[in-house]
Chains A and B, each alone.
Chain A
Amino acid sequence: MICFVAVAIALLSACSGRPTSLPATFTEVADSACIYPDYRDVTIPPNIAPLNFMVVDDAADAFVADLGGLVCGAGSDGKMDIDTAAWRSLLTAQRGKDIEVRVYARRGQGWVRHPAFRLSVAEEPIDSFLSYRLIEPGYELYRQLGLYQRNLTNFTQTTIYENNRSYDNDENHCVNCHNYQNYDTERMLFHVRAAHGGTVVTNGREAHKIAIKHDSILAAGVYPSWHPTQPLVAFSTNKTGQVFHLLYPEKIEVLDTESDLILYDAERNQVSNILRSTDALETFPCWTPDGTRLYYCSAKMPELEGENTEALITSRFDSLLYDIYSMPFDLATRTFGEPRLEVDASSQGMSCSVPRISPDGHYLLYTYGRYGQFHIWHKSADLWVKPLSNDLAPYPLTAANSPDADSYHSWSSNGRWIVFSSRRDDGNFTRPYIAYFDRQGQARRAFLLPQRDPEYNQLLLKSFNVPELTRSAVRVTIEELNHVVRHTEAQVAAYK
């Protein structure tokens, strides 16, 4: 039986027509090879997993790629499965240099060779782990939804936490907003909504669930930012709603009808207000790397005439324009100073969101769009940068941006890489894109997170949400998180 299976596999392999060497004769063609993902002329980390790709050419039945001497073949499906060990050696040898990639296709009249493209291997590595949420771009039900982490140096994806695998109304719960302290996984948190609600906070291999609710604060914590050194988390607290367009270029709006900022002390399980206002909507807090300032977004509350505030704000969804502010933070007294306007988008009829400071403190990275703060659903959303160490004006990261939504970005710990969610593939499912951020403050062309099967992203019916880079894998086990989420009560935070 075993022999039969082995022979069958061998025959299948032989029949797949996967060439193993470069063709001796070929014809040069002028058109570039159509490959997915599009890895042409991108800059990649020296520790990234093999960039397996797929050549799309209906006229060809076999393909070969020459990646700087590493030869890889594909059958009629065009899928290049690059040998991991050879790839690793190649990147090590080419660190700081370029790799020329040539693709050959076997068509009816023989082999053709497409023009070469280039992979630039950066000197600086990327953090080894990327965590994200996988979820259908749906909004009210949750099944097989979870937080996962991917080892970027290979193709291993492990589950941090996953909800119910079959739909169960009693177990229907969402997990979101995972966040880490300073690229480390010692301290992390994520929220659980609906069933088993609360916020799960970890400390090494330990985890517990808290509930942030008090009459003095607006609502539970939402968008988090861990202080880089202290057991403190700045949260926005939002009353969030979703509306669906029946005829509009955007499909969905996610908007806040109220929002404030709060500070949570993870050691003392205490919460306090940072900003509590009725005339402004504050959201998306973010600490500077030294922990001395807190950046956040704020929009003026529109003047509303009528009682149904929620409906009124909803109907004016495109008039909510957010600017970015910052406030100094005194660690000794745990008090915040006066807000300072950092990016004035509203005066130009635009809006910005998700401020993230580079690890060296020199750049403010944010998304810039036509209105609102939930830019991941806005085609106009692009990544912009404001230099903080000089008076240069903000500018877009043109090479990394796309015509579709680009948002939910984060920095690598060395500040040389940014990873962000983009809907550029199909306008609907977000995918994690990685871009090199050079010393001149410019981003290079972004590339899609590589997968073992290059067709994976075309078949996956889930979105990658909130990509966050960390230096190490999450330490707390899935069993521990399952226990904490499903079988423990949330400890209510005290209000200070």
Chain B
Amino acid sequence: MSKQNRHQNHVIPGNQPGSHIPYFIVHNSYLITIFFLLSWAWASWWMGDVLRIAYERSFFATDVTLMHGLWQQSFGWLWFVGRALLTLYRWPLLGGLLVAVLLAAGAGLLGYCLRLSWRWRWVQFLPAAAWMFWTAHEGISLYYMHDAGRILIAPLLIAVISGLWAVVAKLTRRPAPAPGNSASGKVEWGGRRFPFALLFYSLFLLLLFIAPSLYLTHRHPYLRPLTRMEVQLLHHDYEGMSRTAHAHAELSYRQMAGFYAIALARTGHLADQLFDIKFDFEDIKGKSYFGTPNRCLDYHVVDCNYHAGLVRSALHYAILNLTSDGPSLHTLKYLTKIALIEGDWELARKYLRILGKAPFEGDFVRKYQPMVGHSELLKADAELSAVISSMPPVHVLENMYPKPCFLGYYAGQRFLGSKESQTWGAVACLYSKRMNDFLRFAQQYAGTMPPRSIAEGLVTQVSKYPELLKMFPQLNMEVNRYSLFLQEAEAYMQDPKGGSQALFQKYQGYYPYYYFFGNLPSKEQQEEQVQQEFNAGVN
């Protein structure tokens, strides 16, 4: 660069006579502003539920005793900082704002440090793009079996390192050239003028956000709907959970099915809408602590056991989570509610005290603190009273039932408890196709019009037990439809997988379809051994 050019280059182009381009555009701030807004939208809307749930699966407090376990780990201090940042995802808009600020600051400072010309300015966005692709690639492993404190460390480091670099650059470098501007002060890129560059970068930035979003949808299609349902569960929005499940009815993941069942139980539709979604159960692509593929089978066990009234089984798995992952808001909140239901007041106080140390959990503490020692207040709470009414009627041992307990217990329970628990039992039998046990539970509906799924389940047994038509006269209306279904289904009886695909649209939600073509495990799943659980020490 000639001495003359250098002199011309550090004149601010936007201020030059004859320049048609505003100052903020010529300087990186235009791109950075666009990038910031897109980042905010991406991090708060597209990824908002995912990172909100990551926050729930994390725990942050400044208390030494509570964070001791984290500090002891390799890079524990770094995850501590990451968890602190993640707490802003208590409100995804705010968390997204933080992410957007970090990513935009990192990109802008990197651009400044590298003195990039217009042609090369896309380089400054690469670290942010890499991070977004990483989050999309990790999916549920962002927080499941991994420390959620990792998630926001990269944006933080990008911003901090770029910032430090910029400070050094500012102190040491000579006046910077105005990158990408011709000697005439016009922005040029590849011999073309500003509009082309603007168009290119607008498209580039859009692509920058669309690509990881598509990758996430392709690699982890369950993640956004699942976390949406989890957030809706946090807000007791059971209708919303149902809507989310219906909107993604063909996404067949057992975790979604579990949350859908919770929503239906709470809205009273468990016995007539459960089979509206597909149950073929593809595997979630997660990773275990040590990096090997993991199907995340136990991801929803605490939620489902708890909402099915099996609070002890929920306690069992919550404590396992506490052991393997350390405390998380998700675990501590369930432990609190279980302690309240059990009448373990001091224990509930302990968990509330711990939750009170987390920065933004005051609402939860204020809601449940008054219930300590006041069991009558539990019955006034819709969620807790529903759980209490579903609890087992008599003493039973968890180990006598197959896992997970919310299915194993209800499919195999010997004692008819409350109406809620009988409904769980009937539906669990329908789900597991244990029709003899189902008939036992279905007797409660004799002489009445059973809920849709119950009636459709009964009709599959009419050929075996014709007396069902006497017990349930209303089934006569179902018999014709069932006959038509069988005629159509006959072609697929030797090819259940094919039938599953071909008949779903037409028979979505129809139990006989599920009975013959739904919930068919893959050969790999059948052969896969259930992970051994160690039982080597007691305390």
- Interface residues of A, Cβ cutoff 8 Å to B: 133, 135-144, 165-170, 172-176, 193-194, 197, 240-248, 251, 253-254, 311, 314-315, 374, 376, 425-430, 453, 455-456, 458-461, 463, 465
19 of the cross-chain contacts (CB-CB < 8 Å) are: A136-B319, A139-B319, A140-B535, A142-B323, A142-B537, A144-B72, A194-B537, A244-B398, A245-B312, A246-B392, A246-B395, A247-B393, A247-B394, A248-B395, A254-B538, A426-B346, A429-B350, A430-B539, A455-B65
Contact: B391 with A247, CB < 8 Å?
yes
Q: Judge whether B272 is part of the interface by a CB distance below 8 angstroms.
A: no
Contact: B398 with A139, CB < 8 Å?
no
Contacting residues, chain A, for B353 (C-beta < 8 A): 458-459
Q: Judge whether B220 is part of the interface by a CB distance below 8 angstroms.
A: no
Q: How far is the CA of A428 from the CA of B539 in the complex (A)?
A: 11
CB distance from A314 to the nearest CB of B (A): 7
Q: How far is the CA of A455 from the CA of B312 in the complex (A)?
A: 27
Contact: B344 with A140, CB < 8 Å?
no
Contacting residues, chain B, for A376 (C-beta < 8 A): 539
Contacting residues, chain A, for B400 (C-beta < 8 A): 311
Contacting residues, chain A, for B322 (C-beta < 8 A): 136, 138, 461
Contact: A143 with B323, CB < 8 Å?
yes
Considering residues B74, B289, B396, B537, which has the most beta carbons from chain A within 10 angstroms of its beta carbon?
A: B537
Contacting residues, chain B, for A144 (C-beta < 8 A): 69, 72, 326
Query: Sorted from nearest, which 9 A-B pairs have the closest CB atoms?
Result: A174-B537, A193-B536, A138-B319, A244-B398, A426-B346, A138-B323, A426-B347, A136-B323, A459-B65
Contacting residues, chain B, for A170 (C-beta < 8 A): 290
Q: Judge whether B409 is part of the interface by a CB distance below 8 angstroms.
A: yes
Chain A residue nearest to B289 (CB atoms) is A167
Q: Judge whether B324 is part of the interface by a CB distance below 8 angstroms.
A: yes
Name the contact of B344 in the complex, choosing from A244, A314, A427, A459 (C-beta under 8 A). Answer: A427
Contact: B319 with A194, CB < 8 Å?
no
Contacting residues, chain B, for A428 (C-beta < 8 A): 339, 344, 347
Name the contact of A244 in the complex, choosing from B63, B145, B313, B537 (C-beta under 8 A). Answer: B313
Excluding A169-B288, A428-B347, A458-B350, 20 further A-B contacts by CB distance (< 8 Å) are A136-B319, A139-B535, A141-B320, A142-B323, A167-B145, A174-B537, A240-B538, A244-B399, A247-B392, A247-B396, A251-B315, A311-B400, A426-B344, A427-B346, A427-B347, A430-B539, A453-B64, A459-B66, A459-B357, A461-B322
Q: Judge whether B397 is part of the interface by a CB distance below 8 angstroms.
A: yes
Contacting residues, chain A, for B537 (C-beta < 8 A): 135, 139, 142, 174-176, 193-194
Q: Judge whether B354 is part of the interface by a CB distance below 8 angstroms.
A: yes
CB distance from A148 to the nearest CB of B (A): 12
- Interface residues of B, Cβ cutoff 8 Å to A: 63-66, 69, 72-74, 145, 288-290, 310, 312-313, 315-316, 319-320, 322-327, 339, 344, 346-347, 349-350, 353-354, 357, 391-400, 405, 409, 533-539
Contact: B324 with A143, CB < 8 Å?
yes
Chain B residue nearest to A374 (CB atoms) is B538
Contacting residues, chain A, for B394 (C-beta < 8 A): 247
Contacting residues, chain B, for A172 (C-beta < 8 A): 534
Q: How far is the CA of A425 from the CA of B346 in the complex (A)?
A: 7
Contact: B65 with A167, CB < 8 Å?
no
Contact: A133 with B539, CB < 8 Å?
yes
Considering residues B73, B346, B349, B354, which has the most beta carbons from chain A within 10 angstroms of its beta carbon?
A: B346
Contacting residues, chain B, for A253 (C-beta < 8 A): 397
Contact: B397 with A245, CB < 8 Å?
yes
Contact: A245 with B535, CB < 8 Å?
no
Contacting residues, chain A, for B535 (C-beta < 8 A): 139-140, 241-242
Q: How far is the CA of A314 from the CA of B398 in the complex (A)?
A: 11
CB distance from A289 to the nearest CB of B (A): 27
CB distance from A139 to the nearest CB of B (A): 6
Contact: A166 with B73, CB < 8 Å?
yes
Name the contact of A459 in the complex, choosing from B354, B396, B399 (C-beta under 8 A). Answer: B354
Contact: A456 with B65, CB < 8 Å?
yes
Chain B residue nearest to A459 (CB atoms) is B65
Contact: A243 with B398, CB < 8 Å?
yes
Name the contact of A137 in the complex, choosing from B312, B319, B396 (C-beta under 8 A). Answer: B319
Q: How far is the CA of A280 from the CA of B201 in the complex (A)?
A: 81
With A136-B323, A144-B69: A246-B539 Cβ-Cβ less than 8 Å: no
Considering residues B72, B73, B145, B535, which has the most beta carbons from chain A within 10 angstroms of its beta carbon?
A: B535
CB distance from A245 to the nearest CB of B (A): 6
Q: How far is the CA of A169 from the CA of B533 in the complex (A)?
A: 10
Contact: A167 with B395, CB < 8 Å?
no
Contact: B65 with A168, CB < 8 Å?
no
Contacting residues, chain B, for A133 (C-beta < 8 A): 539
Contact: A165 with B397, CB < 8 Å?
no
